[in-house]
Structure 1
């Protein structure tokens, strides 16, 4: 087998090498550079031929020789400063971009940390405000003037005292007017009864129920008339003006007249059963001279006035209490408002913390990539596709010697060549220059 045939056979078994995208095409290569490359190829070819002649084409020895070829190729690439610079240019550019990215991420992190600090300060301020509002809610009933609330201190205590007093007075008025109204309008006086029995009848309600629905309804409802008068005293007294004073005066006069009528009716019935033939006709002049007449009036009218004043006082205290309560409710709503703002701020803080964590992680990864790039830049980049080109030249030289100089049978010679090609492919796999990774740049730190 001649040399040309052996070369063609080797080429059919080798993998085609794609050109490196960043390198110029063959048309753009300078003639001097092309001559240098051809010279380099020839050197590797001759070395292969020479080494093969020394070992009689032994493919086991070829494996060791290829390791030496790879070391030689590394040293040659290391000395090619310009080529190394071109190979590292993309990594240098990436490193610069990564450094710029680090600066941007650092600024972003600092901005987020400042924002986080601001948000935390807002939360602390809102929490302080909430604590202040809670203290005010507790202190308002004791010191309303401290918070510019026009309410009387201790209004709650006065309110309950007045409310408790109001209950028995109301009960008294109900019993009194049920008894006096029944005695005045429906009761038939018994001459044998005592004076007290004539004025106050403890069974007035039962007797009115026995007399009929109308009588019972009248004596039960008439106390509410006086209670209504007392309520009007409070209403007219709220707005202090001349008109209301006139209305209040008229109301008191009407109530007094009503009580006078009740007392007059009772005294008239008593006088009629006690009078003699010589007794004059009963009139107001006589009524005014009767002690019991005035007792009935004052037992009703005076207590009614007291009820009206106590009721007015209770309502005013309730109003004072409402002022404080309203201020407390306002502060409670403000507490809820600030609490909602705190909840929103806490959610924002969690998002900011997550973003800061992601940014820090990205910075660490980017710094790690920069270190990797620096290792690449500091090391020697071995273009494995170029190694594959020169290694194939070396093996072709090795195989050429076998084809030309080894005197063995055709079959044995082919087996030797196949063994060399297998050793060659194994070497390519070892150094990472296999056909699946033709564009892979193999790195070596020398």
Structure 2
């Protein structure tokens, strides 16, 4: 019953009746047909009427009485076991659902933790593999046979030494063939030239350039012919077949013949400068008898053979070095591959850890809710909508007495009624049974 209705109700009853013996209002109702709720409402109404008669309708006393009414209502609700079970049924069902939800979350958490262990073991295994591969990369040059690599141990040092020897020999051959080819084909000799000056000319390149571009190109490029022949000798020597051995022999023969030609031409020019009227025409027989002829051949061809052997050695060592380097590169690529897998696994581990954290947080929240639900189930649920109904009956009885029995002016009586209604509304606010939340329940653990 709202405030306006209560006011209107007791405005009609504000005129006091003739003094007569005080008695409680009687309602003509068939007791057999009266419901328990109606009986309870009537009881509260009568209690309000009776308590008001004892306190002359004082609104301050009403506040205390309403507190007692609320306590009485709590005790009554507590004794109604079946009603409490009905009120708590939704909370019990929610609690069961929450417990089932926790079980599912625990299973999910265990699954995630198992995944975490598996992935952590994979990361550890990959890290150990990377450490092993890094150790092999470092140890490969020292112990290639340990890793079934057919390479000579210490190949890098031999390669460096061979390269160190090959460079000056190559420079020597370049200088030798530039000088001897210029002396053999373009240089003019005179009687004043010494034997050394006749064979080796320190200004051969400059003089060839002055003589013309053709001469300069010839003397500059001819050393590369011999170096190319030496490279071919190395290539034919790699595959040890009869055909390659024949080719190798022919190349050596060609190189030797070319050196013989250079020596012959130089020796012929020297011979022509020194010959007399009695001298015989120069030929190979005479050339073979000259020491300088053989010095030129050995200074070129023998050094050329030495260059070819050193070059072959350097290339072989380079191959050995490449074998080790290739194995190192293979292992390095495997290191990068496993490192990428580790990075992916670590990212997955972070996601799993975040998921486990969320699951634990959800479990904590749900357990907190289960505890709240258990407190509700263990406590007494006060249906505030019902309390508001019975409290209004009590206040109605209280105000009925004021309207019927208090002999004051209409204005004073209305003021008393308004104060009682205000006290009633304050009580509803205090216990959480205001009109805005009348469909909620008020929990009290007793």
Measured after TM superposition, the shift of residue 370 of structure 1 is 0.8
Q: Structure 1 residues 134-143 or 335-344, which shifts more?
A: 335-344
Provide the residue aligned with 1:121 in structure 2: 121
Q: Structure 1 residues 211-220 or 339-348, which shifts more?
A: 211-220
Provide the residue aligned with 1:419 in structure 2: 419
Provide the residue aligned with 2:19 in structure 1: none
Q: How high is the TM-score relative to the length of structure 2?
A: 0.91
Measured after TM superposition, the shift of residue 140 of structure 1 is 0.9
Query: Is the aligned partner of 1:198 residue 2:203?
Result: no
Which digits, 9 at most, give the CA deviation of each residue in 1:271-318, with x for residues without a partner?
222333333322222222222212211111111111111111111211
Trace 1:325-404 onto structure 2 (pairs within 5 A): 325-404=325-404
Tell me how far apart the structure 2 counterparts of residues 125 and 72 of structure 1 sit (CA, whole Å).
Answer: 71
Query: Is the aligned partner of 1:237 residue 2:237?
Result: yes
Trace 1:45-124 onto structure 2 (pairs within 5 A): 45-124=45-124
Give the 3-state SS of the residue equivalent to 1:443 in structure 2: strand
Query: Is the aligned partner of 1:181 residue 2:177?
Result: no
Provide the residue aligned with 2:136 in structure 1: 136
- Could you list the runs of 5+ residues in structure 1 that have no partner in the other structure? 13-30
- How has the CA–CA distance of structure 1 residues 112 and 289 changed in structure 2, closer, same or farther, with 3 Å as cutoff? same
Measured after TM superposition, the shift of residue 10 of structure 1 is 6.2
Provide the residue aligned with 1:154 in structure 2: 154
Verify the 8 A CA contact 2:130 2:335 in the aligned structure 1.
yes
Provide the residue aligned with 2:286 in structure 1: 286
Provide the residue aligned with 1:25 in structure 2: none
Give the 3-state SS of the residue equivalent to 2:156 in structure 1: helix
Provide the residue aligned with 1:17 in structure 2: none
Verify the 8 A CA contact 1:46 1:397 in the aligned structure 2.
yes
Tell me how far apart the structure 2 counterparts of residues 284 and 205 of structure 1 sit (CA, whole Å).
Answer: 29
Measured after TM superposition, the shift of residue 33 of structure 1 is 9.8
Tell me how far apart the structure 2 counterparts of residues 70 and 6 of structure 1 sit (CA, whole Å).
Answer: 20
Q: How high is the TM-score relative to the length of structure 1?
A: 0.91
Verify the 8 A CA contact 1:179 1:204 in the aligned structure 2.
yes
Give the 3-state SS of the residue equivalent to 2:443 in structure 1: strand
Tell me how far apart the structure 2 counterparts of residues 141 and 284 of structure 1 sit (CA, whole Å).
Answer: 54
Size of the alignment, in residue pairs? 424
- How has the CA–CA distance of structure 1 residues 384 and 109 changed in structure 2, closer, same or farther, with 3 Å as cutoff? same
- How has the CA–CA distance of structure 1 residues 394 and 415 changed in structure 2, closer, same or farther, with 3 Å as cutoff? same
- How has the CA–CA distance of structure 1 residues 7 and 209 changed in structure 2, closer, same or farther, with 3 Å as cutoff? closer
Which digits, 9 at most, give the CA deviation of each residue in 1:15-60, with x for residues without a partner?
xxxxxxxxxxxxxxxx989611111111111111111111111111
Which digits, 9 at most, give the CA deviation of each residue in 1:257-279, with x for residues without a partner?
11111111112222222333333
Which digits, 9 at most, give the CA deviation of each residue in 1:46-81, with x for residues without a partner?
111111111111111111111111111111100000
Query: Is the aligned partner of 1:171 residue 2:180?
Result: no
Verify the 8 A CA contact 2:7 2:418 in the aligned structure 1.
no
Measured after TM superposition, the shift of residue 218 of structure 1 is 1.6
Give the 3-state SS of the residue equivalent to 2:281 in structure 1: coil
Verify the 8 A CA contact 1:6 1:400 in the aligned structure 2.
no
Provide the residue aligned with 2:430 in structure 1: 430
Verify the 8 A CA contact 2:7 2:417 in the aligned structure 1.
no
Tell me how far apart the structure 2 counterparts of residues 394 and 250 of structure 1 sit (CA, whole Å).
Answer: 134
Verify the 8 A CA contact 1:7 1:396 in the aligned structure 2.
no
Provide the residue aligned with 2:265 in structure 1: 265
